[in-house]
Amino acid sequence: MSSPAPTTVDPTLSAHTTLRLGGPASRIVRAEGAAEVVDAVAAADRAGERVLLVGGGSNLVVADAGFDGTAVLLAGRGIDHERDGDRVLLTVEAGEDWDDVVAATVADGLGGLECLSGIPGRTGATPVQNVGAYGVEVADLLVDVDLYDRRTGTVREHVPASDLGLAYRTSVLKGSDDAIVLRVRFALHADGRSAPIRYGELARTLGVDPETRTDPAAVREAVLGLRRGKGMVLDAEDHDTWSAGSFFTNPILPTDRAPQVDGLAAWPAGEGRVKLSAAGLIQNAGFGRGHAGPGGRVSLSTRHVLALTHRGGGTTADLLALAREVQGGVAERFGVTLHPEPVLVNCAV
């Protein structure tokens, strides 16, 4: 039986990104399930068209010129549970809203994902970016993924997490469009306890010691509160949330090359290496909250300097100009190059 024809929608990419920026795609197709994703991508490949996968658009910075090709909106839904001893295997379709997934696991008393509450986007993007927050990464919980391999035109099921090159905010899937995530599987705690609380700010908010496992619902509420305080929970009326989240990754450097800055947060990152706070570097380079870019149309968030925000009426060129200003200021002051975390489509910093 053939799959239903994918639904064609308005091609303006700004309508499909949390920044509300970006020009048109040649065509946008809304794929309601894995089979439709495969059909849409295969059709584009046969036509020799480029393909852009769009989930919630929370990790995309799209050029004002747009995208010359087919953009496929991931809209497939579905969540399945399977008990496996003292854990539950959770299988999630790529188009599921990520925070809805986290909320559902917490409501079911499953532990593991609660620290990743409030992160916008679709589930299929989480292994691509190795999404992480508050001491937890997708890599900690991911079992495997199902992929569509564009090179062979086949679906590969149960590709183990160990094959994905998961590292800090990256994977072998990032920056390559040869393989497309169709669904994702996680192993979660079935004992009603959270993942160990490893992030100091979160432990203090909860009033627990580091490494404590506690009520996932309490952790979720604490994380959402912390994220709201930083403008990191989507709200259409709040321009501080018109962003792509943290714009720069925390740089990892050899310890002997790391700048010494009073009060700068830093974490061990393997033998002889240290991870530095990008936000701390930005602040110490003289960029405060609300620092405005061209014409005030873009700015650093008024609550969190690591987010570059669209204040309305702006362009992607405005946003990139602000990013380059911040990047250049940090490089000049500390000799450290900050690298963007979002996927840049037809543009660069």
For 179-227, the pLDDT digits (tens) are 999 999 999 999 999 999 999 999 999 999 999 999 999 999 999 999 9
Active site residue 341: yes
The predicted pLDDT at position 1 comes to 46
For the segment 73-92, the average pLDDT, to the nearest whole number, is 94
Catalytic residue among 117, 171, 246, 299: 246
Burial class (CB in 10 A: 0-12, 13-18, 19+), 12: middle
| E strand or H helix at 215 | none
pLDDT in tens, 318-329: 999 999 999 999
**Known catalytic residue: 246?**
yes
pLDDT higher than 90, residue 85: no
Instruction: Name the catalytic one among 122, 169, 227, 311.
Output: 169
Q: How far apart are CA 68 and CA 108, in angstroms?
A: 43
Asked if residue 74 has pLDDT above 90, the reply is yes
Q: Which residues lie across from 79 on neighbouring strands?
A: 92
pTM value? 0.88
Point out the catalytic residue in the list 96, 114, 137, 341.
341
- For residue range 225-245, list pLDDT tens digits in order: 999 999 999 999 999 999 999
Write the CB contacts of 253 (distance below 8 Å, at least 6 apart in sequence).
Answer: 273, 274, 276, 336
Catalytic residue flag (residue 169): yes
Res 8 pLDDT > 80: no
The two three-digit tokens of residue 277, written as one number: 């706070």
CA dist., res. 168 & res. 130, Å (int):
7
Predicted confidence at residue 177, as pLDDT, reads 83
User: CA torsion, points 311, 314, 317, 319, in degrees to nearest 10?
Assistant: 0
pLDDT higher than threshold 60 for residue 6: no
Q: For 242-267, what is the mean pLDDT? A: 95
Please give the average per-residue pLDDT across 111-126, as a whole number. Answer: 96
